[in-house]
Amino acid sequence: MKLPVITALAAILTGASAMADVPKLTHADLSSVIGDDWTGQLIYLNYQAPFNDVTIRADLQAAAADNGLKLDYIYPDEPQANSTVIAEIGADGLSFMGEPIVANETLENDVRLIKTAFACEDMGRAAQCEMTYQFAPTELQIKKMVTYDGEAEAFRRNEYVFTR
């Protein structure tokens, strides 16, 4: 009986150690996306039958906020769906939008890659969600992947792709 407890404790400590290795997110890491000239699309998996991908035009305005970014999503063909999100950096720099950061790195061409992972619910089912943010001076992508508890395969719930 002690072995499962020790194994679980080791997994928790290993996860905490890995989390400490993730560089803290700063305002400077997000500065490349500030501007109001982003155009692109939202691709999302429809929540109703036939459960296929839907693509709609989307624009984005990104402004600096005290604690992160203010993101204004604009849907030219569906203005009633326009929305604003404050993408907050946690006070410790280890969370983004209230979600723990599991990756934060700079890739080629000044692309900032940020990943968060957290427990979530999708279609009334318990799941694990992973958000991937790729920020660069001329490209911006935000993708949500979902894995239902007890299943191995993840699926894309939605993805924003913007350029300028």
What pLDDT is attached to residue 118?
Answer: 97
CA–CA distance, 83 with 91 (Å, rounded to integer): 24
What pLDDT is attached to residue 69?
Answer: 96
What pLDDT is attached to residue 1?
Answer: 45
CA–CA distance, 46 with 58 (Å, rounded to integer): 17
What pLDDT is attached to residue 5?
Answer: 40
Residue stretches of the chain with pLDDT short of 50:
1-18
Domain boundaries, the chain: 25-163
What pLDDT is attached to residue 49?
Answer: 87
95 neighbors 85 (Cβ within 8 angstroms): no
- The CATH class, in words, for 25-163 is mainly beta
Q: Write out the H or E segment, with its range, that includes residue 14.
A: helix 2-20
Helix, strand or coil, per DSSP, at residue 47: coil
Amino acid at 25: L
What pLDDT is attached to residue 108?
Answer: 92
Q: What is the pLDDT of residues 3-50, one digit of tens each?
A: 444 434 444 444 444 455 889 999 999 999 999 999 999 999 998 888
pTM across the whole model: 0.85
Strand order of the sheet with strand 83-88? 83-88, 68-74, 53-65, 35-45, 155-163, 139-148, 125-135, 112-122, 99-106, 95-96
